[in-house]
Structure 1
């Protein structure tokens, strides 16, 4: 089976790039001949690692959408894959739309991963000008793969495609690569960060975009510091449209010790050093950071969005709070820091849930089955 995956970029600093890099060797071992086409260069590119894992990697980005679509079309005609695999995000959907259109023009079956709720769904962004192309290319898409049942249901309604054409396969993580939150690992990472071992540490690992809700966390931070005066907030993630606002909010508060770490490739280590991981998102299709926190075994506090609740399960595994409610978020984080035994019990249960549902081994097998099913079944 020959699959061409089209992605915005192959940066290991982003969730999509990390997932692709982790999945590639498993897909190749399962007999998938994998090509990867990317539109943009980005810091932390993993082209060499993908090639080393057995994928063929191609840069197809060109100035302008028309030239990029033409480059994609030529690549599909030259490589002649059995399937073209795109990924649809609620924000920037260029690689998805261009790849779907190019694949259909080349008469090559195309499948699409659905990472986020569609425009108009609860917690999603507004409707965009590309919706007509989105709906038109969706009609020719062989099958869809959604990260959660919620994303599947809302996208089926939005694109007016039968729900039976959408398979649900979550993103997965390798438990061996994540590791666990041991006292030794915690001490080593904290020493590298210059953090004392007894200081309460809260981590948010997310790019600095509005839908990630980091501003809500910063509005909550003064109340958390009043409850835990020595607490430190670590923000690990690439700069984005919200960076200036977030830095201004951090400077405007007298709560102190907010550290911007920038984009990091060692997020699992940071989670192992933290006492709580916060996911304050306004929109999230599944919650990659939540899955990683569950896998590492760090107590988790996240917003009660449908996709996140589907991933986390219930408050047996994490504290869940309404989105855009700084006071509720502050109370949940402060409670997590104050009641360590209860927080550790939730984290232990969450790791067991991760091991039964979100390991890379399980997810890779499901993706191969998805590809095989997509080649057998045509759209209804």
Structure 2
């Protein structure tokens, strides 16, 4: 089976890019001849890992959408894949059009519950532009053979917003390799904390996310003074690339107290940071899956998450993570304090969460389901 995977970039920042590079070796081993086309220049990105996995990588960089569309169409005709798979908005719109113009079946991943009320009222987003993007997405979606959604929540939401039949959407989450994640050990914890110059007995809360409105890091920083009043020695680590919310987050961090909040920037060792933390916070306003929460489940760190639909679906229930209403700093602070104070209860949730990860989110399991999705899309399996 020959698949051309079209994605906006292969940078090391986004969840979609990380999901692709994690799954690529598994797909190739399963017999998929994998081509990857990316639209935005991505210096220092995942090109080497994709090539090492056995994929053939193409940068389709043009100064205009029309140019990128022409480049994709030419690539489809040159490579002649059996199936084109698109992920993220720009790639969805242009990749679908390029595939259809070349007479090639196309499938798309739905990685977020886009175009909802939360997007219309998000800081920095223009409601008219959101609706215009939705219209274009919906039009190009009509020619798409099947869709892959990360969660049932995304499938249900996007079926209505793109005006496609729900039975054309298959749900397959992202996965991770348990060996790559590793687990929490005293040696790993000590080594990471030593590198960060953090004593072993200092309570540490970690969040790992892009500094964007969706991720709710401002809510976490608004909650932090209450955590600090209860546990004055606690430290908050923020790992992730800068974004539109960075200036606001730095102001909130300054108000929370110098030295109590540390911005670590984009990191390649997030799993190690998780293993050194006493709690992992995911205060998102919305998610498509919640990859960071899923990874924390695999590593084995206590989770405190916003109780939004996709995150609840990923973590399961309060048996696996502390769930709090989104945009409620007081509730978030209380859950963090409880997690830091009651290590025994947190450990019970951690054990259950890791078992859930091993059942639902291992890379081997998820990759097999993705191959089945491709086969259904090519009518090689019963729909």
Shorter-chain TM-score bucket reads: over 0.9
Contact 2:222 2:252 in 1 (8 A): yes
Provide, for residues 17-74 of structure 1, a one-character-per-residue CA deviation record: whole Å limited to 9, x for no partner.
Answer: 2211111111001000000011123354011121111000000021111111111111
Distance of 2:134 and 2:151 partners within structure 1? 21
Q: Which residue of the partner structure matches residue 317 of structure 1? A: 320
Q: Which residue of the partner structure matches residue 356 of structure 1? A: 359
Note the C-alpha offset of 1:256: 4.2
Give the secondary-structure state (helix, strand or coil) at the position aligned to 2:365. Answer: helix
Distance of 2:202 and 2:114 partners within structure 1? 40
Q: Which residue of the partner structure matches residue 36 of structure 2? A: 36
Give the secondary-structure state (helix, strand or coil) at the position aligned to 1:41. Answer: coil
Q: Which residue of the partner structure matches residue 103 of structure 2? A: 107
TM-score, length-normalised on structure 1? 0.96
Q: Which residue of the other structure, out of 92, 95, 112, is the alignment partner of 1:96?
A: 92
In terms of mean alpha carbon deviation, does 186-195 or 15-24 score higher? Answer: 15-24
Q: Which residue of the partner structure matches residue 65 of structure 1? A: 65
| RMSD after superposition | 1.6
Contact 2:16 2:111 in 1 (8 A): no
Give the secondary-structure state (helix, strand or coil) at the position aligned to 2:238. Answer: strand
Give the secondary-structure state (helix, strand or coil) at the position aligned to 1:130. Answer: helix
The answer to whether 1:259 aligns with 2:262 is: yes
Distance of 2:379 and 2:162 partners within structure 1? 22
Query: How many residues were matched structurally?
Result: 375
In terms of mean alpha carbon deviation, does 164-173 or 11-20 score higher? Answer: 11-20
Matches within 5 A, 1:185-264: 185-254=188-257, 256-264=259-267
Contact 1:35 1:56 in 2 (8 A): yes
Q: Which residue of the partner structure matches residue 291 of structure 1? A: 294
Matches within 5 A, 1:314-353: 314-353=317-356
Contact 2:193 2:200 in 1 (8 A): yes
Give the secondary-structure state (helix, strand or coil) at the position aligned to 1:248. Answer: helix
Contact 2:5 2:85 in 1 (8 A): yes
Note the C-alpha offset of 1:77: 0.9
Contact 1:123 1:305 in 2 (8 A): no
Contact 2:134 2:161 in 1 (8 A): no
Q: Which residue of the partner structure matches residue 378 of structure 2? A: 375
For structure 2, the 5+ residue unaligned runs are: none
Contact 1:225 1:255 in 2 (8 A): no
Q: Which residue of the partner structure matches residue 146 of structure 2? A: 143
Note the C-alpha offset of 1:249: 1.1
Note the C-alpha offset of 1:128: 3.0
The answer to whether 1:118 aligns with 2:121 is: no
TM-score, length-normalised on structure 2? 0.95
The answer to whether 1:173 aligns with 2:176 is: yes
